[in-house]
């Protein structure tokens, strides 16, 4: 087990900095579910908090409470974990100014203000690249990005679904049009980013194959949690096939989710 439910390990047990992931309704209806990711952090003896990019211009910094999130500590040592947690706590006080986009080229935190750079139209972050961008801003290279594949067909379908979701939720037309032009760009999935972040810091920058392995384990953890919560919520759901009953390839959530 890579990520844990809060009923098993309360969020308050985080060693300063963790990562979170949860199943969400899929953006692409052909997928069984999507995934959403972010940070879990705690300042000294304070209450744990989530920091995550929920959607277009919707960066959330909120008390950690939603039990649907599974979590794990990151692979960072204590000192660095505390620095990132403190940075997140400060960032939570700054403007909520991060657009959603599938290509983060040229879009990142301002090098000097920690505020989001007014990115080129259409550029922005996903929930997953938010995690990557925060770490990168502070000098951590989480992923060996050049090892990531560029030709996954399901990434393309998810990116098209993002465009439609932005359009449906009234994002500015020039932004949506520009995002549409980025369909086909390299994608860093939430489960891959979360998986990489759980690996020991000494193994960063994580190559794709290593991230994919731990990502597969996280998917299994998420599926178990979904099945458990579904069973608890509706005993009648026993008639519905459990996600694990599906072929593994079909099970794998391919989306960033509807966040």
Partner 1 sequence: MKYSAQLHLADSARFAPLARHWSIGPDDGLFSSIPYLVWFSLSRMGFSADDYVCPVQEVYKRKALGDRVRIVSKGIPTKAPSGGTIMIVSGKARSEPAAPPQALPSLDLKWLFAAMKSGTDRSSSEQLMNTIAGLNEVLKSRKFAELNLILGMIHPQRLSPELMLTFARVTFPVRELLPNWFPLVRRIKNELERRNLDSKQLLNGLI
Alpha-helical runs (H) found in 145-189? 153-168, 173-181
Under the binding rule (CB under 8 A), the answer on residue 139 touching partner 1 is: yes
| Nearest-5° Cα angle at 5, 217 to 218 | 10
Among 11, 71, 87, 130, binds partner 1 (CB under 8 A): 87
User: Sheet harboring 70-73: ordered strands across?
Assistant: 4-5, 70-73, 17-24, 34-41, 49-55, 58-63
Question: Could you tell me whether strands 34-41 and 17-24 are parallel, antiparallel, or unpaired per DSSP bridges?
Answer: antiparallel
- What distances in angstroms separate CA 217 from CA 79, 211, 242, 247, one per listed residue? 27, 10, 17, 15
Among 9, 13, 83, 156, binds partner 1 (CB under 8 A): 83
Alpha-helical runs (H) found in 46-104? 78-91
Please tell me the count of residues contacting partner 1 according to CB under 8 A: 27
**Contact code string over 50-69 relative to partner 1, x by CB under 8 A:** --------------------
Under the binding rule (CB under 8 A), the answer on residue 207 touching partner 1 is: no
Among 36, 49, 82, 175, binds partner 1 (CB under 8 A): 82
Among 29, 44, 209, 239, binds partner 1 (CB under 8 A): 44
For 19, list phi and psi in degrees, rounded to 5: -125, 150
Please identify, using beta-carbon distances, which residue of 29 and 79 lies nearer to partner 1.
79
Under the binding rule (CB under 8 A), the answer on residue 204 touching partner 1 is: yes
- DSSP annotation of 120 reads S
Among 11, 55, 69, 109, binds partner 1 (CB under 8 A): 109
Please identify, using beta-carbon distances, which residue of 33 and 188 lies nearer to partner 1.
188
Give the integer Cα–Cα distance in Å for 189 and 36: 9
Give the integer Cα–Cα distance in Å for 210 and 256: 20
Span near partner 1 by CB under 8 A; candidates 41-49, 206-214, 218-226, 229-237: 41-49
The distance of closest approach from Cβ of residue 141 to partner 1 in the complex, given in angstroms and rounded to an integer, is: 5
Where along the sequence are the contacts to partner 1 (CB under 8 A)? 43-44, 46, 77-80, 82-83, 85-87, 89-90, 109, 111-114, 137-141, 201-202, 204
């Amino acid at each position: 087990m890579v990520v844990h439910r809060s009923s098993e390990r309360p969020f308050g047990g985080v060693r300063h900095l963790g990562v979170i992931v949860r199943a969400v309704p899929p953006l692409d209806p052909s997928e069984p579910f999507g995934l959403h990711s972010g940070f879990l952090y705690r300042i000294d003896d304070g209450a744990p908090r989530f920091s995550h990019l929920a959607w277009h211009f919707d960066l959330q910094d909120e008390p950690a409470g939603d039990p649907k999130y599974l979590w794990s500590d990151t692979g960072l040592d204590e000192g660095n974990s505390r620095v990132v947690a403190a940075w997140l706590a400060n960032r939570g006080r700054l403007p909520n100014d991060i657009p959603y986009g599938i290509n983060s080229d040229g879009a990142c935190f301002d090098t000097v203000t920690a505020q989001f750079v007014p990115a080129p139209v259409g550029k922005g972050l996903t929930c997953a690249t938010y995690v990557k961008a925060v770490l990168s801003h502070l000098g951590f290279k989480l992923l060996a990005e050049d090892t990531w594949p560029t030709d996954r067909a399901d990434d393309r379908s998810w990116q098209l679904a993002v465009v439609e979701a932005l359009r449906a939720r009234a994002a500015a037309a020039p932004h949506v049009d520009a995002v549409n032009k980025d369909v086909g760009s390299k994608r860093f999935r939430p489960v891959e980013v979360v998986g990489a972040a759980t690996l020991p810091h000494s193994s960063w920058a994580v190559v794709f194959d290593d991230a994919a392995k731990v990502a597969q384990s996280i998917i299994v953890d998420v599926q178990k949690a979904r099945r458990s919560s579904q069973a608890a919520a509706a005993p009648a759901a026993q008639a519905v096939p459990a996600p694990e009953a599906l072929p593994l390839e079909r099970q794998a959530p391919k989306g960033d989710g509807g966040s």
